Amino acid sequence: MPSTALDFTFSNTAPSAISVAAFAGTGSSPAAVAGAAFTPSNTAPSAITPPSVAGTGSAPVAVALASFAPDNTAPAAVALAAFAGTGAEPAALAVPLAATVTPQVPQLVGFTPDLSSETDLTMHTPSLSFAGELTVAQPFGLYKPITVIAVKGVQLSAQVAPVGAAAIIELIDSTGASLGRTATLPDGSTFADVTFVTPLALNAGTLVRAKLTQVGSTTPGSFLTATLIAQTVP
């Protein structure tokens, strides 16, 4: 379908001016606005009469109180809940477990040295003590003879026996070197009397200690005393 072209023709002239409505002042003052008439009367205002507050001269009316008349009877007894004893002794209260356990000083096991003569003044029994739970490789005790001696054996006593294995000690010098003598406290035992096949000869001033080379495997044992059976050598 053919299109119809619109005819646009430019006049190339300025548009016509738009007329503004005419406004011309009158040149006169505006008319005064009339106010409402007000004429003062020059008289005092009328007095305002307050309400009457005259007293009656009579006593106030008594206010009735709620009725209260005591009946002069004892109050009703309050029923208490029934309580019948069982006749049974109360259960003992459980004592709480101690948070920590403090090892006590061991009570040494008494013994009587097996000596050839009970009046032999050359014999003496120095003790080397281990406090607490036994520990492998831990040296303990101290003995320093003032003359030449021969150690014939050792008596071992423990407050708690080793369990699962025997406890074994070794005599050592001040440097920790072995003196070639050991003693064994059997598994489950608290006392043992050990006699050396060959007595241990020590010079005066030699420092002697003991060292644990084995302890119990289940219970190590604790508070061990090794008592040396020693004799002075003339």
Q: Report residue 208 as tokens.
A: 């002697």
The tens digit of pLDDT for each residue in 11-56 reads 677 777 767 666 666 777 777 767 777 677 777 777 777 777 676 7
The tens digit of pLDDT for each residue in 169-188 reads 999 998 999 999 999 999 99
Class of 133-232 in CATH: mainly beta
Residue 154: is it exposed, middle or buried by C-beta count within 10 angstroms (0-12/13-18/19+)? buried
Rg (CA), the chain: 62
Roughly how many angstroms between the first and final C-alpha of the chain, as a whole number? Answer: 155
